[in-house]
Amino acid sequence: MRPRVIPVLLLDSRRRLVKTRRFGEPVYVGDPFNVIRIFNEKEVDEICLLDINATVEKRRPDVGFIRELAAECFMPLSYGGGVTSVADATPIFAAGVEKVVLGRAGADTRAIRALANDFGSQAVTVCIDCTRANGTWRVALDRCRIVTDLDPASFAKAAEASGAGEILLQNVDRDGERGGYDLPLISQVSRAIEVPCVALGGAGELQHLTEGLAAGASAVASGSAFVFVGRLRAVLITYPSGSEIQRLHAGLQRGV
């Protein structure tokens, strides 16, 4: 089975798709329904939909809206934002979502365990936001408002031990920069765990995706690479073609 290439779509409080840069001011990129329809046509592997303000604003997931979005998706859909418990996740799965993504709740091993027990580890992804602090990688919470003393590899191992079936490793410092993933970070975390590690934060072109996979990621994800083009960051929804995907895997087999 070939590694997945996953567009990550960010929702704001007004149900708009936006994109950030280093978790800064969001830029509007489109209507979520239109963007999902375009990705349907491009036959993407999977979509990850994240409500970036839900946890900070203490909002519960908007299940009706999620159901409408899931109905448009012809591919697997994962959702994160405001999910903290089995009670939150149950209607989300009923709405057609295949995986829930835990952000702040990813620090709660009891929440992970409860979700994994009820829905299976394959349905639980923990997103780890990473930032540099005093020259060392640290786990950040609440959209980087809190920087902990925890290192990403240990955090990922604890999440896996609690039942997480996947780690979404997000580099805050490279978010939206399009200069490539931090390969040593990917290598460090992916070596520490047995479950899939999905790299996010920094990709801007096909070569970056290949490099992320070669560094140890089980799958690669990006927002900017699939919504922006050019130096001026013009909005254009895109995704690698079949031939480009083949080149990506050919590069991986060569060891980049």
Q: Which of 45, 51, 88, 129 is catalytic?
A: 129
Length of the chain: 256
Token pair in block for residue 166? 């996947």
31 is catalytic: no
Write the secondary structure of the chain as one string of H (helix), E (strand) and C (coil): CCCCEEEEEEECCCCCEEECCCCCCCEEEECHHHHHHHHHHCCCCCEEEEECCCCCCCCCCCHHHHHHHHHHCCCCEEEECCCCCHHHHHHHHHCCCCEEEECHHHHCHHHHHHHHHHHCHHHEEEEEEEEEECCEEEEEECCCCEECCCCHHHHHHHHHHHCCCEEEEEEHHHCCCCCCCCHHHHHHHHHHCCCCEEEECCCCCHHHHHHHHHCCCCEEEECHHHCEECCCCEECCCCCCHHHHHHHHHHHHCCC
**Contact (Cβ atoms closer than 8 angstroms) between residue 151 and residue 64:** no
User: Which residues share a beta bridge with 48?
Assistant: 8, 78
Residues annotated as catalytic are 129
